[in-house]
Structure 1
């Protein structure tokens, strides 16, 4: 009887953990999706206002807006020192800033190309995230390599602002798709394994906002790089 009670207790704990993990993961995807929605709405309404013309005609202002999200991420998104409520605010500030910078794509790409790239990115993201969640393979070894790759992409992108090389843009876009595909799977596995109910609601909420931001950035990057090739195919 004692053994039966212990078995029942273990099963109950496992069920509670699964339910908590499921709620945690759904919360992360909901936050990430809301961030993408905010970015899309800001980009759309900015593109249909006079502000997009100002951004397109003033390169310095556009560069400030384009790199502002990176500044917020580096200096205004610290899960070790910030409460979950402040991380939430920073997350949506980043989403709005990305929306402002993305508004100019409506001046360059057709609406059908933007929609096609979005659905391709969404399908790729869903498949990669599902792989990261279900795979038994340990993806930890990919993390540091992929993050180094992201910094390489940032450097090359800055260089190409001045070089304006279509070949380099093709290389950056292809590498970007590969790198952020790997990051999507890696981050999904990491956020699944890092969850623990005993950490408490506040700690798990902070981790949730960090994971949502990481997945949001991966999705936005996939969309951006896929859009480049979709636009090339039309040309």
Structure 2
């Protein structure tokens, strides 16, 4: 007489192995996303520190300009922070991220990855100006606070069974409203509106971190070939990188000690 339990185990074993393979593939995919994002943040940090070291000096003889805070700028610092070239520094990262977003499907994985590294470096060049506004200690503290918050929010997005699609749609609409408010405040220069923008910005990008993590997880498909999986990993890393940078910048407006 056949053993029903044996037959059941025989029938279900392949499915169990398939589930394990999917889980292992998903973990490898998400690990690659986080590794790419982390390396992007490292490049940004190194580029920002290198830029501010070249842009400022403690030697009055080497300074070409002095800021109200007392910091002295070299000729390089004056060029990227005070001359018309600063607009190139500000807009170059935007051009790079649009280029990567629209061309990634037609690029090789290697080219897309290099473009991401270039973009991260340009962001570091642009963000180096925060060292002129905030103390180094407060920038460091805010970075670690952002890392802790980002890690918890991304973990929630990865593990939750709740569908975050509706929340994500609401947050994206809120993001457009936030951008409009920031543009308006360029002309109004309202401290109250600036505080509100910072608070709302933190909430929006905190929510987007969880939402984007879930979306990136759902993009995984075990039958993707190496090129498709590679492009998905890069775009996932770019998305989380942007969430981290924006969360950091809005938190810095709260936690940063100005010079």
TM-score over 0.5 (shorter chain): yes
Q: Answer 1 or 2: which has greater helix percent.
A: 1
Assess if the C-alpha contact under 8 Å between 1:77 and 1:90 holds in 2.
no
How far, CA to CA, are the matches of 2:99 and 2:191 in structure 1?
A: 32
How far, CA to CA, are the matches of 2:172 and 2:91 in structure 1?
A: 18
1:91 corresponds to: 116
Assess if the C-alpha contact under 8 Å between 2:157 and 2:210 holds in 1.
yes
Assess if the C-alpha contact under 8 Å between 2:100 and 2:115 holds in 1.
yes
1:67 corresponds to: 91
Count how many residue pairs are aligned between Structure 1 and Structure 2. 233
Correspondent of 1:138 among 139, 148, 163: 163
Q: CA deviation at 1:47?
A: 0.3
Structure 2: which 5+ runs fail to align?
Answer: 1-5, 56-75
Q: CA deviation at 1:192?
A: 1.1
How far, CA to CA, are the matches of 1:82 and 1:149 in structure 2?
A: 32
How far, CA to CA, are the matches of 2:133 and 2:254 in structure 1?
A: 13
Correspondent of 1:224 among 246, 249, 253: 249
Q: Does residue 1:47 correspond to 2:52, yes or no?
A: yes
1:111 corresponds to: 136
How far, CA to CA, are the matches of 2:49 and 2:164 in structure 1?
A: 36
How far, CA to CA, are the matches of 2:134 and 2:93 in structure 1?
A: 23
Q: C-alpha offsets along residues 188-228 of structure 1, whole Å, 9 cap, x if unaligned?
A: 11111110110222111111111100000000011111111
Correspondent of 1:27 among 23, 29, 32: 32
Q: C-alpha offsets along residues 162-202 of structure 1, whole Å, 9 cap, x if unaligned?
A: 44333222122111111111110001111111101102221
Structure 1: which 5+ runs fail to align?
Answer: none
SS of corresponding position for 1:169: helix
2:125 corresponds to: 100
SS of corresponding position for 1:10: helix
2:212 corresponds to: 187
How far, CA to CA, are the matches of 1:155 and 1:201 in structure 2?
A: 40
Give the structure, 1 or 2, with the largest relative contact order (CA under 8 Å, sep 6 or more): 1
Correspondent of 2:179 among 137, 154, 170: 154
Segments ≥4 residues shifted beyond 4 Å: none
Q: CA deviation at 1:85?
A: 2.0
Assess if the C-alpha contact under 8 Å between 1:25 and 1:192 holds in 2.
yes
Q: C-alpha offsets along residues 88-112 of structure 1, whole Å, 9 cap, x if unaligned?
A: 1221121111101111111111111
Q: CA deviation at 1:2?
A: 4.9
